[in-house]
Amino acid sequence: MIPRRTRFARAAAAVAAGALPCLAFPAPALWWWAYAALVPWMLLLRSAPTARRAALEGWLGGAGFILAVHHWLLPSLHVFLLPVAALLGVLWTPWALLVRSLLGGAPPPGRAAAALVLVPAGWLLSELVRSWQGLGGPWGLLGASQWQVGPALRLASVGGVWLVSLLVVAVNCAVVLLVAVPAARVPAVAGLAGCAVLTGAAWQWAPRPEVSGGLRVAVVQPGPVADGPDSAERRFTAGERLTRALAGRPLDLVVWGESSVGADLAARPDLARRLAALSAEVGAPVLVNVDARRPAEAGAATAAGAAARGGGGGGEGIFKSSVLVGRDGPTGDRYDKMRLVPFGEYVPARSVLGWATSVGRAAGEDRRRGAAPVVMELPDGAGVRIGPLVCFESAFPDMGRHLVREGAGLLVAQSATSTFQESWAPAQHASLAALRAAETGRPVVHATLTGISAVHGPSGEPVGPRLPVSASTAEVYEVPLGRGTTAYLRFGDWAVAASVLLLGGCGAAAGMRALRLRKPAPGPSAPPAHTARG
């Protein structure tokens, strides 16, 4: 029986240890810390006296991780963030049991070698489950902390951000073996060497996108606008003024941030005319983002055309839509955001959790979802197609991959993080563009209302300056276009599938072994009966 004081101390240590990896993410961006950040937590788990205790400390550590990486949500969710973290923390209990089972005690070399593969796979399974949009989506994936590391981006081009997560956890596991299990130093060193060889092989032989031409893209960041009944109009006017200042410069595309237009363009033809005049003045189409209620008539009128292009949704409701506007007005290309932010744009199970709107900034009304992704053709013979993503959607590796496979040569993420202006959120969000670019071999433009805006080339490399938080400016970027197919673009989430198959196979093997051990041994044979003789 663990003393009461020790139980509380271990519980507090689990929460703190789970929070440590947050320092590897922006804003601190201590990327190197990720390769040792899990070691304290794993050392605690391997020393758990019982499996039940390990599961508890895995849960508490997972909750600490969610709280630390998502602490900037406090202004919106307030105390509701605590039950959310407690719910998501449960996802790390299987991983904790795996750590204790494989690393606990004095594991022989064979078990230690298995841990170097199975423990990272178990972590990835936790990341996979919580990446479902209903549970918050893939924000704060451990591999995403390596967004500015060239070799890690090359790994992402092979197996996505998932492969980078596997590598980071494998290194942490090897460090645990080196620190706590002297007898397992050989497999630990071999594991570290294997990680180095894998990274080197990816760096040397993974297909690199071929740079083929480029686009001149202007990002318009209007900066903060005070809340008020006319804030949408003032934001539009600021974007209009900054865009007009670009006249005379050769441009292929102008990008505004999320919610840059506060009224449906069909209901406000005056706004559509102003945008068309801007496009004619600067000589390039303008990609805006409309955050507004769409009347049922307008939704029905545009649904057929949007459906023909693969996107859009009909009906009445509030949509967040990327709309391309040319010199003659909206081109007809519109993408309605499909993956909405839980609580920020809709409340899951509102009949049960609707009270969240009274304690934070949860959505008072659910936004409507789009039907499908859309790839837009740039007018004026530019010959390039763009794939729009709206805010939160840039966190999902599969969405960028799908758009590029459909022909997008440029990914454009329109974002707004003004609610979290002074937090780590803008830097964390902007960093995701590098990963999506590396995975797909296509450049990514991350355009925001209030910063941080950034552009990354086909290999994830930064292009031009990052527009800082609160800056009110327009910047023109020479964006290199990529050609070719990355391994991730071709094969998708194979690292996830391999991890699931590996864990399933090992689990099935362990179950069969347990059944054989439980099967009773056959008893001694009974002697033959003798017939009595008279």
Instruction: Output the pLDDT for position 514.
Output: 79
Instruction: Output the pLDDT for position 314.
Output: 56
d(CA 85, CA 64) in angstroms, rounded, equals: 7
Run of H or E including 415 = strand 410-415
Instruction: Output the pLDDT for position 528.
Output: 53
Identify the bridge partners of residue 444 per DSSP, sorted by sequence position: 411, 456
Instruction: Output the pLDDT for position 511.
Output: 82
The conformation of residue 23, written as its DSSP 8-state character, comes to G
CA-based nearest residue to 385, from 466, 454, 287:
287
Q: What is the pLDDT of residues 17-27, one digit of tens each?
A: 999 999 999 98
pLDDT interval class at 353 (50, 70, 90): low
d(CA 226, CA 332) in angstroms, rounded, equals: 32
Instruction: Classify residue 358 by burial, with Cβ atoms within 10 Å: 0-12, 13-18, 19+.
Output: exposed
Residue type, 1: M
Q: What is the pTM of this model?
A: 0.90
CA-based nearest residue to 61, from 92, 39, 33:
92
Q: What is the pLDDT of residues 180-203, one digit of tens each?
A: 999 899 999 999 999 999 999 999
Among 91-100, 179-188, 359-368, the range scoring the smallest mean pLDDT is 359-368
Q: What is the pLDDT of residues 135-179, one digit of tens each?
A: 778 999 999 999 999 999 999 999 999 999 999 999 999 999 999
Express as a percent the part of the chain with pLDDT over 70: 90
Q: What is the DSSP string of 26-76?
A: TTT--GGGGGTTTHHHHHHHHT-SSHHHHHHHHHHHHHHHHHHHTGGGHHH
Backbone angles phi, psi at 62, to 5 degrees: -60, -40
CA angle 218, 219, 223 (to 5 degrees): 145
CA-based nearest residue to 455, from 114, 92, 447:
447
- For the cut 70, the answer to whether the pLDDT of residue 310 exceeds it is no
d(CA 20, CA 24) in angstroms, rounded, equals: 8
pLDDT interval class at 362 (50, 70, 90): low
Instruction: Output the pLDDT for position 366.
Output: 78
Run of H or E including 288 = strand 286-294
Among 262-266, 362-366, 420-424, 487-491, the range scoring the smallest mean pLDDT is 362-366
Mean pLDDT of the region 206-226? 92
Instruction: Output the pLDDT for position 301.
Output: 45
d(CA 229, CA 449) in angstroms, rounded, equals: 18
pLDDT interval class at 304 (50, 70, 90): very low
